[in-house]
Chain A
Amino acid sequence: MIQAFNLSKQYRKDSAALRDVTLKIAKGEFVYITGPSGAGKSTLLKLLYADERPTRGQILVDGQNLTRMNARRIAMVRRRLGVVFQDFKLINSRTVFENVAFPLEVQGKKRYEVSNRVYQVLKHVGIEHKMKRYPLELSGGEQQRVAIARALIIDPMILIADEPTGNLDPDNTREVMELFKGANARGTTVLIATHDRNMIERFPRRLLALDQGRLVEDRMP
């Protein structure tokens, strides 16, 4: 599903955020990416959803080489990815419903075509009673569930999460992890960058450790 060969990323000439990373993640895997702050976790994920381009090396998603893609084809790949962030990245001028429907709207679907699906997903993450609210009227845990609903609405082949529980309390963290496990059980490949040791111990899965841009550990539970 995901293959990276000798992947390097330099934001500036003198320092590398990622050095020579080679890895392979199969379809349906559940993988943690961990490491100290500044290790390159977010950078690796950004290369995966093509927010940044690698300085050297190749990165393939579902057999397609992201390094040689134009903006339009990258958009097409992103339509099959769900991405979740620590800071949610919701559109604050739109309601919960509109936020979750947004990926489908962008693909040109009409509201009445998608409203049923949106409702189902909102119900799945347990936030359907607040679908007419705006993001800033919700708690952090609720906002993150909206963000996850937005990621799940397209039935993503890969779910990418960058410290999704970084701002959440233990209860919300557990609920969010349950949602990720559920998506994984339905066949979605899941990638989570985190430095929450508790979480890794409670739901042990394959773990990739980065340090100063290098892949220093690849361990199965």
Chain B
Amino acid sequence: MRRLIYLLVRALRNMAQSPFLCSAAVGTVTVALLILAFFALVVLNVQQLTRHWSRDIQVVAYFDKVPSARRLDGVLSRLKGWPEVEGVRYVSPRQAYDRFFRRLGDDADLLAGLPRDFLPAALEIRLQPAARTSAGVAGLVERLRSSGDFSDLRYGQEWLEKFEAFLAVLRTAAVILGGFLLFAALFIVANTIKLTLYARRDELEVMALVGATPVFIKTPFLVEGALQGGIGGLLALAGGYGLFRLFLRQDLGALLLSTGLDRILFLPPTWQLVLVLTGTLLGFLGSLLSLRRLVRI
């Protein structure tokens, strides 16, 4: 324990002795993680948007003729037993007519002369959240078709496929860019710490000479790296939140809210923790890398 405090004090003293290099390392981590946090924020909110939109995903199944009460009950209870189905609503021809009438508004006189039950009876089937994918829709449609109860099925699968492809691209871009950023940050941090090692090479040489163990020599630098990374992570989090409050919530909000989303989210606590831990790990690994090359003992 005393040993631990001693090593920590040594790390802090090292940092105090080269404030410029120290802030360079912290700054690098901060910038890299800030960009990452921004991306995470975008991905998070687009995902939220998807979840929001996908509530509207439904399959409409049309009966060939108006079902009898018994047949309808049978179909309804069967469908409700399917795992991918969240809910089913029956729309009678009359209800369909009323809806259509309302939607036409001023043009409602177009319907004049038509019988009030000219629209087919239908079921509106909402999907469970997990099934709200193009594959889920395709599966449900297949099942409905093979049941033979319906004459026609309508679903927005094509739209869904496109949207899923877009999400996949976004996610891949985020991962690639994030990986690249992390790698660049790691490289810069490693080199910054190498500079601090270089600045104290006389001390390192003497340490090894008078019998300091490798652990004793390296630990303060590892602690220093981890601390710098952790501080960088915290700053990125604070900066990210600041930017979020200042700009994102309004600008990104204006963009996304127009699509029906009621609120833009900041990173949830686990993501925040991951961000800070990533910074810490980044600093630690950067130290480890530069130590491996410089201290030959």
Contacts and interface: CB of A to CB of B under 8 A. Distances in A.
Interface of A: 49, 51, 71-72, 74-81, 83, 89-94, 102-103, 106-108, 150, 154
B215 to A, nearest CB: 8
Given A51-B209, A78-B209, 17 more contacts: A49-B209, A72-B213, A72-B214, A74-B297, A75-B208, A75-B212, A75-B213, A75-B297, A78-B211, A80-B211, A81-B211, A83-B209, A89-B202, A90-B206, A103-B210, A103-B211, A107-B211
B213 A91 contact: no
Given A93-B17, A106-B207, A108-B3, A75 B214 contact: yes
A49 B212 CA distance: 13
A76 B213 CA distance: 8
B210 A71 contact: no
Contacts of B3: 108
B203 interface: yes
Interface centre among B202, B211, B216, B297 (most CB of A within 10 A): B211
B132 to A, nearest CB: 58
B210 A150 contact: yes
B267 to A, nearest CB: 41
B142 interface: no
B297 A79 contact: no
B81 to A, nearest CB: 67
A37 B208 CA distance: 26
A109 to B, nearest CB: 11
Contacts of B214: 71-72, 75
Contact of A106 (B200, B202, B210, B297): B210
B51 to A, nearest CB: 54
A94 B206 CA distance: 12
Nearest to B212: A106
A90 B297 CA distance: 20
A92 B202 contact: yes
B209 A93 contact: no
A81 B209 CA distance: 9
B211 A71 contact: no
Interface in B197-239: 200, 202-203, 205-216
A79 B209 contact: no
A89 B206 contact: yes
6 contacts: A74-B297, A75-B212, A78-B210, A83-B209, A89-B209, A106-B211
Contacts of A72: 213-215
A91 B203 contact: yes
A71 B213 contact: yes
A159 to B, nearest CB: 13
Interface string B277-297: 000000000000000000001
Contacts of A71: 213-214, 297
B17 A102 contact: no
Nearest to A74: B297
A217 B214 CA distance: 38
Interface string B126-146: 000000000000000000000
Contacts of A49: 209
Given A71-B297, A106-B216, A91 B202 contact: yes
A21 to B, nearest CB: 23
Nearest to A78: B211
Contacts of A91: 202-203, 206
A80 B209 CA distance: 11
A100 B203 CA distance: 13
A102 B210 contact: yes
A79 B17 contact: no
Contacts of A75: 208, 211-214, 297
Contacts of A93: 17, 200, 203
Nearest to A81: B211
